[in-house]
Every structure is written in C-alpha cells, then in structure tokens.
Amino acid sequence: MTVGRHEANPPRRNLQGLIAGYLPATIIPALVSLGVVLAYTRLLSPAEYGRYSLAFTALMVVQVSLFYTLSLSIVRFYPVAVRERSTADLIRTSYIGVMLVGLIAAALAALALIVLPLPPKLLPVLWLAVPLLLLRATLSTGQAVRRASDASSQYSLIECGQAIIGFAAGVLLVVLRGPTAENVMLGLIVGAAAMLAIGARSSWRAFREGRFDRTLQRNAWAFSAPLAVTYAVGAALQYGDRFMVAGLAGAQALGIYTVATVLVDRPTALAGIAITTATFPRVVRTLEDEGVEAARQQLGFNGILLLAVAAPACIGLMLIAPQLARITVGPAFRTGLVALLPIVAATALIRMMSAHFIDHAYHLARRSDLMLLAYGPFAALNLGIDVVVIPRFGVLGAAWAALGCLSLQCIISALLARRVFPLWLPPADIARVASALLPMIVVARLINLTNPWLHLAALVAESTVSYAVMLIAVDLAGLRGIVIGRCRRMFALQEPV
C-alpha cells in the first residue's frame, strides 16, 4: 500500500479507469455470493441456513454501525493527512482506535450471549461471530486506507481473497465435518484471517513509523460517533426485518427470506460499493481542493454513475426472477422466492441511491448527526409494521414493509440533505439512463424460452448488449466519445507500417 502525496484530481476518464480497477472487488465477491446460495441451499437445511443468516446478520449490524463509520473517517481525513504529510500517523491512530473499539464490542457481545435468554441452538454460531467481527474490523481499516490512497489492485486482492477463501473453506468444512451453520462461520473466519495476514504486511511499515495522535483520534471519533448511531439505525432498517422474521416466523422462514435478499443485496451492494470506493474519496478531495460548487458537480456525476449501474442491475434481477429461483436454489428454498425477488430488487435500488449518494451529502457537509433524523423514525416504523404484517402475510409482508418504509425514508432524507449540501443529479443524464433501460425491458418481455438456462442466458445477454448500446447511443458520461476514440486507436494500431 503506497502512502504518500496524492496527485491532483485526474479527469473523469481516469475516474472511470479507477472504477474499473475496483471491478474485481465487485464481480468476484458477487459470483462467490451466488456460489454460496447454490452450494449452501443444497448442503444445508433451511433451518441451518437460517441460523447462519441470523448470526451473520447480527455481525453485519455491529460491523456497519461501528467499523464502517470508522473506515469512513479514514477516507474523510486522509486528504488532510496527505497535505500535512502525516499519513503514517493516521494509519497508526486508526488501527489503535479500531482495535480498542473492537475489543469493547467483543466484550459487550460476549456479555450479551451470557446474559440474554437466547435459544441454546443459536449460541454456538453466535459465539463464532465474535472473533469474525474482530478480524473483519481490523481488515476493514486497511481497506479504508487503500481506498483513500486509490490502491485499487490491493483493495481488490483483499476483497476477492476473503470471499473466495472463506467460501471454499466453509464448503470444505461442511462436507468434512457436517452441514451446520457453525462450519460455515468457521470458513468465514479462515478467509478473513488469511487475508488479514496478507494485507497486514502493507500496513505494518506505516503503523510502525507513525505516532498515535490523540487529537486526530478525537476528531475521528467525533466524526464517527453520530454516524455510528445513524448507521445502527440504518442497519435496523435494513436488517431488522430478518430478526423479526426469525422471531415471528422461525429459522426456516428466515432461511428462505435471507436467500432472496442475498441473491439481490449482495451483488447490488457490491456494485454500489465499487462505485463509492472510487468516487467518494474523489469528491472529498474535490471539496477540499476546489470548493463546494466543484464538489456538487462531482457528486452529481458520481450519482449518475451509480444510477447507471444500479438501475439495470436491479431491474434485470426483476426480469430474471423466475429463472433465477429455479436455477440457483435447492427445492426446499423455492417456495415464495419468485414473488420475493422483484420486491427485494426494488428495495435494493432505493437503498443503493440512499446509502451511496444521498448519505454522501451529510458526510461532505460534516453533518452526519442529521442522518439520525432521516433513519430513526423509519426504522421504528418498519419494525412496528413487521409486528402486524409478518404473522398475517409471512415473508412477503416483511418485504413489502421494507420497500415502503425505505422509499419514504429516501424521499425525506433527500429533502433533509439538500438543506446542508447542494445535492444534485443532472436531469438530462437521468433521462438518458431511463431511455437506455426501456429497450432492455421491452425486448426482455418478448423472450420466451422453455429451458430455464437458455432463457436466463438470453435475458442476460440481451439486457447487457441492449443497455450498453443505448448508453453509447445517448452518450451518457461521454461514453460515445470514449468508444470512438478507442476504436480509432485500435484500428490505427492494426494499420500496416
């Protein structure tokens, strides 16, 4: 990991190249998540998958609430550290802070497992979530530094390695030791530990040479504290329905519900992270170096890139829902999956725009405290609605409640964010994305093949090609000029000398 002075903001074509550098960290874990569903819905029962899902969801709530916010503080303060030639101090201070918070979180989690009257079958897998939390928290610190320093290849290596090794180790343990949720969690621990050992080498020199800066730590925690509360509420809005399904409908229903959300949320969330990983540090630098108006323009461009990726991904998942359900999961998981997938895909699209575009306005304005107002009431509303609809409508009721509450939250959050930062999306580019989606949807509805594999392949191929062609035709983000320029260079290289 290179630590040093960053260059001046490169042009947008370099930003697109940087996003491409993060693509492996998006594509490979997304493929692995598909492999997780393919394998574990056949190797595990819905109840065992539900136990694993509950433990992993609890881990994600803590990780998002605490450690993702600490990672954001690294990205936010990194340009200042570069300017002041104190990046080593930032790295050492950040690691020490994460270790301290991680130990406190692990101690509180252990206390909760001892004191709370949890079902005995859940305790073993929940205990395994504690060391996994510490490993992933430490790993996320190094990843935040790699993001901030545009070390995309190293970032992608760590993300891909963690996903692949964790999945492979989990499958091996399930086959050798038995189809239990504990073996799946042990596999994830192996993957996180392996990549932490590899990634630590690149951070050790800066950690050793830096000094602990109390002022920097206070600033980072002051930035992160309101975010931690806000993201805890946001995690309750995103994951709370899983706990409600588990409590009101049982582990088997949770297993089926989680499969639907994983099939959608994992690839779409990774796509959003890939865009944000490259674009958020850039807009922070733009704000620091060029001011609010330049940052507004850059954030609007970032939002269009996100929409151009998120919209076809989520709409495409709606179009292939029946084939996806038939192909990807075991027979015990297929009940209700076709009906769930379109609802979950629509929810994922709204969540991506909220988390990876609207929320950035709060970060840039340093008003992350306001995010609690945008998340808190709707998290409580969602849980309250779940109490009513899940006993009557099951997992479909939970899915519709999540979509409705998140849609309302996104609207209110956008209005609130505009009061502290000039949030903006170019209307012409929104129209371009919409016009590029229309042929994809129309042609996909005309495809009707009896073989599910051929139908799925035809839908994916048609959607990819038609959407890409339309994006070039409408010239979104200057794509037409980029494609023409590359074609000219390619043909020029082929001309005889």
Whose CA is closest to 187, among 235, 128, 243, 108?
128
**In the structure encoding, which two tokens stand for residue 424, read together?**
């903006």
Cα-trace Rg, the chain: 23
**In the structure encoding, which two tokens stand for residue 37, read together?**
């569903």
**Cβ(357)–Cβ(216) under 8 Å?**
no
In the chain, where the domains are located: 12-425, 427-497
Spatial separation of the C-alpha atoms in residues 55 and 127, rounded to whole Å: 9
Any residues with CB less than 8 A from the CB of 434 and at least 6 apart, and which? Answer: none
pLDDT in tens, the chain (497 residues): 444 433 334 344 455 556 666 778 777 887 888 888 888 988 988 889 888 988 888 888 888 777 777 777 777 777 777 777 777 887 888 888 888 888 888 888 889 889 888 788 888 999 999 999 889 888 888 888 887 777 777 888 888 999 999 999 999 999 999 999 999 999 999 999 999 888 777 677 777 777 787 787 777 777 777 777 777 777 776 777 888 888 788 777 888 888 888 788 777 777 777 787 778 888 888 888 888 888 888 888 888 889 988 899 899 888 888 888 888 887 777 767 888 889 999 999 999 999 889 988 888 887 877 877 888 788 889 889 999 999 988 888 999 999 999 999 999 999 999 999 988 888 988 999 999 999 889 988 888 888 878 888 888 888 888 888 888 888 776 666 666 666 666 666 555 54
C-beta neighbour count of 196 within 10 angstroms:
17
Collapsing DSSP to helix, strand or coil, 363 comes out as: helix
Q: Is the pTM of this model over 0.95?
A: no
